[in-house]
Chains A and B, each alone.
Chain A
Amino acid sequence: MSPALLLRAGSRRPLAPQRGLRRRELPGGALVGQRGRPELGAPRSPGGALGSSRGLPPQRGLLGALVGLRGLHVLGPQGRSGGVLGGLRGLHVLGPQGRSGGALVGLRGLHVLGPQGRSGGVLGGLRGLHVLGPQGRSGGVLGGLRGLHVLGPQGRSGGALVGLRGLHVLGPQGRSGGALVALQELLPQRGLLGPPRELPLQGLSRGFAKVARTRSSRELREAEDSAPVFQYVGKQAKRKERVFVWGFCHAGALGIPSFVKPDAGWKKSRRIQPTPYRLDTVEKISSAACGYGFTLISSKTTDITKLWGMGLNKDSQLGFQRSRKDQTKSYEYVLEPSPIPLPLDTPQQTRILQVSCGRAHSLILTDIEGVFSMGNNSYGQCGRKVIKGEIYSESHVINRLQEFEGRVVQVVCGQDHSLFRTEKGEVYSCGWGADGQTGLGHYDITSVPTKLGGDVAGVNIVQVASYGDSCLALSDEGDLFGWGNSEYMQLASITETTQVNVPRHLPFKIGRIKDVACGGTGNAIVNEEGNVFVWGYGILGKGPNLMETATPEMIPPTLFGLSDFSPDTRVSRIRCGLSQFAALNNRGELFVWGKNIRGCLGIGRMEDQYFPWRVTIPGEVVDVACGVDHMVTLVKSFI
């Protein structure tokens, strides 16, 4: 007999034949034994228990307590045998103090104190059942499905049958034990009961107190051995992918609508989320990017929906988000991750590799269909011709860029310009160039992606970085190249001019560089040994005394978790927001520092952080994307 059968409310399980069944109609409207068939019980008593309002345990020679559906409080009979039938909801039943008692309990929120008789069967209903097993000699406890707390009977034979979820079961301390006990234990009460000629004082009423019994170490050991073993996670369990967000909420960039528009009375809208908050996503997110007030997240799936956006959409940087109220209009603020439909030729084969966001435009890199751009194009940053007087809000235009020699493998958005890096190691750019950030030798805007020259020509570039108006590029040999804005001393080591419009080699002796990041006013790199170097202007991470420097300064590795107890901790990745830095070490810890604009550092405080500070995230951080006033992290769970 499977447990499932037993627990189903409508099951009819004929127990031993009964005698003297009494049917009663209760004011609550519950007619016990409604199907007209007494199914429970044996005259002698029994303990059998069957859930739901069926049948009636006969109490021969005793008071039987039959209870109806709701909110009944019943004190079990003090007789020899007693059966208690509980109704459905909120039943509090004190098991009979008889020798044998059966407690039948209903479905929800039942609290049953097992009978102190010798045999007792307790059947629990479905939810939230708290059952104290009988202290009789034999007892069977049948638990329901959810949230059952069952103390096994302390009888000699006991079986605890428990349901599925979240169960806490203490195995019976009896001689025969076993988590799952067939109903045979419950049903044929005769064998369990024994003859009712027992000592009359056995079942003296003591309220809730139990007779103290010292248990020998052998008994304890046996009880322990017979306890059920739970498995929470299998041997090949996969680690779960999660996304955590924090920062400024009002633009909707975090993707949690209740922060902006609370959906329950007790919730309050919050302006800032100061610590990491989990964002529930439909798919596993492989790439995330934060722009100025908006966020893009993408997945490497081949499903049709692979790109979601949230936050500011006044320049259609999140595409056209059809409003539900008016089909012709698009949302200006998107509060939760909404799919962005891309005009792909093969939507079920193309995968999105990377996304990038700038001030008001965004770039999406796919594996076989090239680069897509959307959003503001006033300076040609989307790679298409500037149309005078174009209105960018509620626009359906998503441009596909194909003027590259070779496959694009990385896209980077600066504030109002775009950089593309191809497989061959060439760099293309387009957009606003007044600071020379396009690196094409002039200070005009460019609306068509054009190849860069200068010191970068002929060099195999493996990474480009930009977020504001200055740019950095890294070659495969570990050399660094920079161009763009130099007002904040980013390139002051090689030139006095404040704008550099041609890529120039930066001859720093800081080891072989592995990762670069370029922020609004400060730059940072990680070298092969895992050391972080910073230069530029602003809060650089070496205390309030270091506010600007033209040459890179190293941040001591002890601030990133290096210690005697963990001597091989290294920084593996560095990222920049507009005025913040984020570093990931090889243990998956995230360290942030910089200006704490609207709580974007996620450290729980609103003050600026002058040296690297660890962010507490429940997981191992895989990647981080920094924006102006918010951050998004891709995290793997620990186990």
Chain B
Amino acid sequence: MKLLPCSAAKTSSPAVQSNVEDELEMATVRHRPEALELLEAQSKFTKKELQILYRGFKNECPSGVVNEETFKEIYSQFFPQGDSTTYAHFLFNAFDTDHNGAVSFEDFIKGLSILLRGTVQEKLNWAFNLYDINKDGYITKEEMLDIMKAIYDMMGKCTYPVLKEDAPRQHVETFFQKMDKNKDGVVTIDEFIESCQKDENIMRSMQLFENVI
């Protein structure tokens, strides 16, 4: 249950050369976030909430940024029974909006602001962005299958009923039947939002995490 600090380069790669360089790089990366007032204006959180969030963030990542390895480790602490690295990878890409390989506090706040305080439209937009792995505006069956397998991997082996091999694929089929209106094999953002808005369960569950902070 050890949580490694974000800036320590405890990578498992055998190449010594890149390790040394990485270590130097990571050790000198220090990221200071924008001023509190600016963040307050940009996001939908109050000052107090931002303070609490930043204290937690800085405690775990004294250098101010999270890289993918650390992100995966933190996320896997919550799902001890399964393997959450793949899903954490997709999640990391969804949070890392500028794709620089590290999630800073601003990225973190931007994502959380949408998820916790955004409108249903924004949340659905975020979810679409998560599923659209190559960010081309369409969710294909392969992309959805990857996401679904990642989610099922988090369940691990010991489940009831026993996980079958094609469970993710079947789930993807159900999803596409529901979402893909014109049956062209891809789901666009409009189809997605429209279908979700028609489904009561989804609408209700979107409101579930309002009071997380």
Partners in one complex: no
- Interface on A for B, CB 8 Å cutoff? none
